[in-house]
Chains A and B, each alone.
Chain A
């Protein structure tokens, strides 16, 4: 379903605004490309289902 594909250019533009990260026009295309690559590389992780009990291991040692 093509409609489900995220609009990555918009993701980059609005996300950058939301976190206060100015992205100059000459950098924008490569940022979009890298978010696209990240989305592809992250897929095997995003596709997993994890048990609710599975919490991250804390690094903090009191």
Chain B
């Protein structure tokens, strides 16, 4: 039982134990709150802790209510998710003066309907315009594997909270890589589902054309369990799909038989440290994947994702940039301002190109089921590091940690980020990419890699 109350326990293990009454939800929650209190000085993952609410919920579960596949599992959410009774910070100071959330965001409600217990809101880069996990208002989230290093962002608190073992499960958002980058740098499994698969209702937006929500965890079982619990059409998110729910848990451990797996070449084979390509090679070898495919115009896809992000994000925040520029994080303010000045013709061209690129990449999926690519060009940089040198080229950290994630989310493909780690080194992830709505294939590959011991996530 003590293992179920430790930082190593996964959501699936906790849920099984609570369901079978081997452990009380109240004890699980108390243990999580104690771990949070102990770890926070080092990792700074949480901005809000809802202890009273969590204790009430746990007591209700112990009284026999809210039984479901995630019963008793403590979880936390990036603070752009609405939490009833709190302002939705979205990493900002400005939003503290905004409305108090009247109810929880859609995915919080879905996880709690499955029995999970919200314990708090998590640190993030301001307004999600971030790949580092740094935040001028609330301090940087710190990488549990080395607190002098970045978590990656913008779901930095989500990465830190799960990697530190404060909670087994966290939700993040991913517009250009903000689930996959912290998953890579913190050594976690992260799922960025297909664009439109999960409802974004009740979350603070960044770039509507590209915003996704999804889970981060230390096991593929936990990704699948939470993903299944969160699926389903929601009329309050216009992009949300009305496809039927496609459960992944029953088939998660079916292995990789029948899946055609290739490695992304060209753009995805240059521009990173050797460690990121070694990680892809390790995963590819375990999957016996030797074929290489080229995503045509991936550099243009990255450029187009950047342009859409800059312009949509800036337009969203223009009233605040006019009225309260001094209250923005200095690391987002001038980037938002610059985005407000970029030509509309760039934006429309980026959206037109998205259509072409989508068609070109979907053609590749006639011959393959899974494409492997690096998740980040390097392991976690030092907190405060502004520039990095990759392949002899000096480049800004902020703009480039998402080099390999942007061309994928640009067209909404589902991705599982899987962790690798060499002895003595920081973790680094690999993207397991599938065709639209085939999260199951990516999850099956991730589960196979986990079972083989090739991709293992451990709490720090």
A: residues with CB less than 8 A from B are 11-12, 15-16, 19-24, 27, 30-31, 33-35, 37-38, 41-48, 50-51, 54-57, 59-61
Contact = CB atoms under 8 A, between A and B. Distances in A.
A51 B353 CA distance: 10
A54 B299 contact: no
Interface string B231-243: 0000000110000
B310 interface: yes
Interface string B333-347: 111011111100010
A33 B355 contact: no
Given A16-B340, A38-B338, A59-B238, 8 more contacts: A27-B325, A35-B341, A41-B302, A41-B306, A44-B300, A47-B300, A51-B356, A56-B352
Given A38-B306, A42-B307, A33 B334 contact: yes
The 5 closest A-B pairs by CB, nearest first: A34-B338, A56-B351, A30-B334, A45-B303, A15-B341
B103 interface: no
Nearest to B345: A46
Contact of A46 (B349, B352, B356): B349
B220 to A, nearest CB: 31
12 contacts: A21-B340, A22-B325, A24-B325, A38-B310, A38-B338, A41-B302, A42-B346, A45-B349, A46-B346, A46-B349, A54-B356, A56-B354
B348 interface: yes
B322 interface: yes
B396 A45 contact: no
B300 to A, nearest CB: 4
The secondary-structure label for the interface of chain B is helix
Contact of B399 (A21, A27, A41, A50): A41
A46 B208 CA distance: 22
A40 B299 CA distance: 12
B238 A35 contact: no
B294 interface: no
B355 A55 contact: yes
A42 B303 contact: yes
B322 A22 contact: yes
A51 B352 CA distance: 9
B94 to A, nearest CB: 16
Interface in B272-312: 297, 299-300, 302-304, 306-307, 310
Contacts, number: 107
B350 interface: yes
B358 interface: yes
A27 B333 contact: yes
Contacts of B325: 22-24, 27
Contact of B339 (A23, A27, A38, A45): A38
A47 to B, nearest CB: 8
A48 B337 contact: no
B300 A45 contact: yes
B304 A56 contact: no
B318 interface: yes
B321 interface: yes
Nearest to A50: B352
B399 A44 contact: no
A27 B346 CA distance: 24
Nearest to A13: B341
A45 B307 contact: yes
A46 B348 CA distance: 11
Given A41-B306, A48-B300, A19 B349 contact: no
A33 B143 CA distance: 29
A27 to B, nearest CB: 6
A22 B333 CA distance: 12
Nearest to B267: A44
Contacts of A31: 334, 337-338, 341
Contacts of B209: 59
Contacts of B346: 42, 45-46
Nearest to B398: A37
A37 B334 CA distance: 12
Nearest to B350: A45
B341 A41 contact: no
Contacts of A50: 349, 352-353, 356
Contacts of B208: 59
Given A22-B322, A30-B334, A42-B306, A57 B342 contact: no
A60 to B, nearest CB: 7
